[in-house]
A and B are shown apart, each in its own frame.
Chain A
Amino acid sequence: MRKSRAAYPLTWRVMDMLEAIAARLWPARFARALPYLMLAPAVLLVGILVLGLVQIGDSSLRVLDTSTFLMSEDYTLANYQRALTESFFATVAGRSLLGSVIVTVITLILAFPYAYLMVRTPSSALRNVLLVALFLPFFIGQVVRAYGWLIILGNQGMVNEALGLVGVPPMRLLYNYPAVLFGLIQYMLPFAVLMLAPALTAIPAELEAAASSLGANWLGTFRHVVLPLARPGLVGAGLVVVTLSLTDFAIPAILGGGSQDFIANAIYDQFFRTSDQGMGATLSLLLVAVGSLLVGLVFMLFGAGTLAMTGERK
């Protein structure tokens, strides 16, 4: 008697076959190893990064011989000594660190109400507008955005033209430290909002209503309910913004007018202008170290926020 096709469809047979192949390739007794297998790509990626760091570490211990433009055979700490004693590197490092902290604080202050409004607004139209405004900059690269500011804030730019209409003479709005910080804040704002929004979404609106019904005014509710519960988002957003700002290259290069270098610019100069790979490697490692210390300090003081691995909310 002929079997009914409907009784055992072809798709089931295919699935059975695939399952059989999978069972042969990855027997059930290997099941416990599956999580480790899934980790393999990440381990491989991190391994490559570590290998790169080892090579950079090796380069950092060699000095450039300017008679042959080759790195020295012998190891020395001379590059580290230069990096830690020459005032130029201290100036650039100080500017980068201070800048990243200022950018982080201002960005969080600006991002918080934006994210809060985006999450809490009952108007879907407003939420969509805020979302579009948030994502639009992601389609425009950092360099293009920085050049956009050159057009807007230049001596003959839109802002100065507008000021000219009310009798204010053109003023230099670009090529200084505030211009660099401004550019960084504008660049970092979407990152911060994106990190904050999930944390704010996780705060039940009923809690705010309860605080209000118990007599808390808006400020009290914000201070004692919203802000503490939003801390994981603030920490996560802060970590992302501070590390991206600290290591940024394009904004200081374009909006700084050449006199507001951050550490990344100094690293570029060593690798590509003076051909001193040793010094460039040294500065790179010091930047990694300072960035890691900063992040470690935040972890110790405030926890890992939304970047925490445990899923535990602090």
Chain B
Amino acid sequence: MSHDKFLTTEIRRRTLLASMAAVGASATLGTGKAFAQEPEKPAEIIVRAWGGSWVDSLKAGVSDSFTKATGIAVRHDLTEDNEIQPKVWAAVAQGRVPPIHINWDTTTNATKSALRGVTEDLSDLPNLKNTTELAKPVGLDGYPIVNTYGYVYVLAYRPSAFPNGAPKSWKDLLDPKLKGRIALYNDGIGFHFPAQVAGGGKLEDIPANMQPAWDFIAKIKEQQPLLGEDPDFTTWFQKGEIDAACTISTNAREAKKNGIELAWVVPEEGAKFDTDGLWIPKGLPENELYWAKQYINHALTKEAQQVWLDGLGLPGVVPGLTPPADLVGDPSYPTTEEDFKHLIRISSKVQVENESQWFAKFKEIMQG
């Protein structure tokens, strides 16, 4: 057993050294230049992704141009992020080749994998030097994950349900006329921190004292909210089931593009700001690891970020990106320091360490 472990460690070290040398030799993709030390190209790279407009944007911005530059096909695996995680963990634990090359993941989820030690180090990606501070995962050593953009959990609403103007506060969700007409994520994600403020608490008290958040969530429970996931919000707005929701701005924007009457705000208490990222599971063959790194390196180029994030309507990690025309000045697309003052960002490590308890508490309130 220990012998196997020793061998694995040796291989990993060799793999890492080779990858570092190769990645260092090619700072960018798309030059069409073939390097002598480039390892053999795999037939395809498998990237786990979210479906709908999410994967469409990734394909348009990153995957297609990667394939054009390298000739390597990119297959998008739409397995849910929560469901791919145990598969990857099991593969690494059993010394098998993982089922994907790259995981497009929430930073919180990815942090769990990093803490478990199943992620490759990405510190040697040349394009990291061109990125903003947002690309670096908070509370972790090195780059087991590379954050690729940020997003905001906005208060999306149906304007016709708010005839007196846009909601200003998360407390507006307590309006009796909205009973049974609001929605949250089914694990409460995105809502805990603004609820802490709306409940009269302080962000500095997270995670030690979140009672104000639970008190506010208990009041929201009286409003009989629907609890779902990204696709549910679009469906519920479309089918007239809800008038307001705490959801990622991308979903709200996509629903609006599809003709649903929708607008969104960052309420006065603030809104949660978080990041998603890309990471590579351990256990890939040497050449595949190299090309997986090249994919992520490519995702950090300005050209790829511009197209990818235009589709998502989210701010990237490379300076100088142009916001989509419909999001200029929009609080869900923060670009200035002033914009970020209204957003709540808590380190992934704190979130990961407390997520299980917060989840249980949220469920206890909502299922009660």
Partners in one complex: yes
B326 CB-CB contact with A under 8 Å: no
Q: Say yes or no: B117 contacts A68, CB within 8 Å.
A: yes
A81 CB-CB contact with B under 8 Å: no
- The CA-CA distance from A150 to B241 in the complex, in Å, is 11
Q: A156-B240, A258-B228 are in contact. Are A91 and B356 (CB under 8 A)?
A: no
| B 347-366 to A, binary, CB cutoff 8 A, 1 in contact else 0 | 00000111110011001101
Q: Say yes or no: B117 contacts A175, CB within 8 Å.
A: no
| A 58-72 to B, binary, CB cutoff 8 A, 1 in contact else 0 | 000000101111100
Expressed in whole angstroms, the minimum distance between the Cβ of B301 and any Cβ of chain A is 32
- Within 8 Å by CB of A68, from B83, B115, B187, B240, lies B115
Point out the residues of chain A lying under 8 angstroms from B115, CB to CB.
66-69
| B 75-92 to A, binary, CB cutoff 8 A, 1 in contact else 0 | 000001011011000000
Q: Say yes or no: B368 contacts A272, CB within 8 Å.
A: no
Point out the residues of chain B lying under 8 angstroms from A257, CB to CB.
226-228
The number of chain A residues touching the other chain, given as a range, is: 20 to 34
Chain A residue at minimal CB-CB distance from B232: A258
Q: Say yes or no: A275 contacts B112, CB within 8 Å.
A: yes
A88 CB-CB contact with B under 8 Å: yes
Q: A258-B186, A258-B227, A274-B355 are in contact. Are A69 and B367 (CB under 8 A)?
A: no
- Within 8 Å by CB of A86, from B353, B355, B364, lies B364
Q: Say yes or no: A155 contacts B359, CB within 8 Å.
A: no
Expressed in whole angstroms, the minimum distance between the Cβ of A304 and any Cβ of chain B is 34
A313 CB-CB contact with B under 8 Å: no
A269 CB-CB contact with B under 8 Å: yes
Q: Which residues of A161-208 are within 8 A (CB) of B?
A: 170, 172, 174-175
Q: A69-B115, A274-B355 are in contact. Are A88 and B239 (CB under 8 A)?
A: no
Q: Which residues of A83-123 are within 8 A (CB) of B?
A: 86-88, 91-92, 95
- The CA-CA distance from A156 to B224 in the complex, in Å, is 19
Q: Say yes or no: A69 contacts B116, CB within 8 Å.
A: yes
Q: Say yes or no: A154 contacts B112, CB within 8 Å.
A: no
| A 241-260 to B, binary, CB cutoff 8 A, 1 in contact else 0 | 00000000000000001111
Chain A residue at minimal CB-CB distance from B83: A272
- The CA-CA distance from A300 to B189 in the complex, in Å, is 46
B126 CB-CB contact with A under 8 Å: no
Q: Which residues of A140-161 are within 8 A (CB) of B?
A: 150, 154-156
Chain A residue at minimal CB-CB distance from B85: A275
Q: A69-B112, A86-B364 are in contact. Are A274 and B239 (CB under 8 A)?
A: no
B180 CB-CB contact with A under 8 Å: yes
- The CA-CA distance from A29 to B366 in the complex, in Å, is 66
- The CA-CA distance from A271 to B84 in the complex, in Å, is 11
Expressed in whole angstroms, the minimum distance between the Cβ of A112 and any Cβ of chain B is 34
Q: Say yes or no: B226 contacts A66, CB within 8 Å.
A: no
- The CA-CA distance from A261 to B365 in the complex, in Å, is 13
- The CA-CA distance from A293 to B191 in the complex, in Å, is 40
Expressed in whole angstroms, the minimum distance between the Cβ of A158 and any Cβ of chain B is 12
- The CA-CA distance from A275 to B351 in the complex, in Å, is 14
Chain B residue at minimal CB-CB distance from A277: B86
Q: Which residues of A261-288 are within 8 A (CB) of B?
A: 261, 266, 269, 271-277
Point out the residues of chain A lying under 8 angstroms from B354, CB to CB.
66
- The CA-CA distance from A266 to B366 in the complex, in Å, is 13
Q: Say yes or no: A67 contacts B353, CB within 8 Å.
A: yes
Q: Say yes or no: B240 contacts A155, CB within 8 Å.
A: yes
- Within 8 Å by CB of A273, from B82, B225, B364, lies B82
Q: Say yes or no: A258 contacts B226, CB within 8 Å.
A: yes
Expressed in whole angstroms, the minimum distance between the Cβ of B313 and any Cβ of chain A is 26
Chain A residue at minimal CB-CB distance from B354: A66
Q: Which residues of A14-54 are within 8 A (CB) of B?
A: none
Point out the residues of chain B lying under 8 angstroms from A155, CB to CB.
239-241
Point out the residues of chain A lying under 8 angstroms from B226, CB to CB.
175, 257-259
Expressed in whole angstroms, the minimum distance between the Cβ of B105 and any Cβ of chain A is 13
Q: Say yes or no: B241 contacts A64, CB within 8 Å.
A: no
Expressed in whole angstroms, the minimum distance between the Cβ of A65 and any Cβ of chain B is 9
- The CA-CA distance from A305 to B232 in the complex, in Å, is 42
Q: A67-B353, A154-B239, A276-B356 are in contact. Are A87 and B82 (CB under 8 A)?
A: no
Q: A66-B356, A155-B241 are in contact. Are A87 and B187 (CB under 8 A)?
A: no
Q: Say yes or no: A66 contacts B353, CB within 8 Å.
A: yes
Q: Which residues of B221-253 are within 8 A (CB) of A?
A: 224-228, 239-241
Q: A87-B368, A91-B368, A258-B186 are in contact. Are A272 and B353 (CB under 8 A)?
A: no
Q: Say yes or no: A259 contacts B367, CB within 8 Å.
A: yes
Q: Say yes or no: B367 contacts A92, CB within 8 Å.
A: yes
- The CA-CA distance from A175 to B360 in the complex, in Å, is 21
| B 50-92 to A, binary, CB cutoff 8 A, 1 in contact else 0 | 0000000000000000000000000000001011011000000
Chain A residue at minimal CB-CB distance from B189: A273
- The CA-CA distance from A68 to B86 in the complex, in Å, is 14
- B-side interface residues toward A, CB under 8 Å? 80, 82-83, 85-86, 112-113, 115-117, 180, 186-187, 224-228, 239-241, 352-356, 359-360, 363-364, 366-368
Instruction: Pull 30 A–B residue pairs with CB atoms less than 8 Å apart, ordered by A.
Output: A66-B353, A66-B354, A67-B115, A67-B353, A68-B116, A87-B364, A88-B360, A88-B364, A88-B367, A154-B239, A154-B241, A155-B240, A155-B241, A170-B240, A174-B241, A175-B226, A257-B227, A259-B226, A259-B227, A259-B366, A259-B367, A260-B367, A272-B83, A272-B85, A272-B86, A274-B355, A274-B356, A274-B359, A275-B86, A275-B112
* Given A66-B356, A67-B115, A259-B227, 8 other A-B residues pairs in contact with their CB atoms under 8 A: A87-B368, A91-B364, A156-B240, A259-B224, A261-B367, A272-B80, A274-B360, A275-B86
- A-side interface residues toward B, CB under 8 Å? 64, 66-70, 86-88, 91-92, 95, 150, 154-156, 170, 172, 174-175, 257-261, 266, 269, 271-277
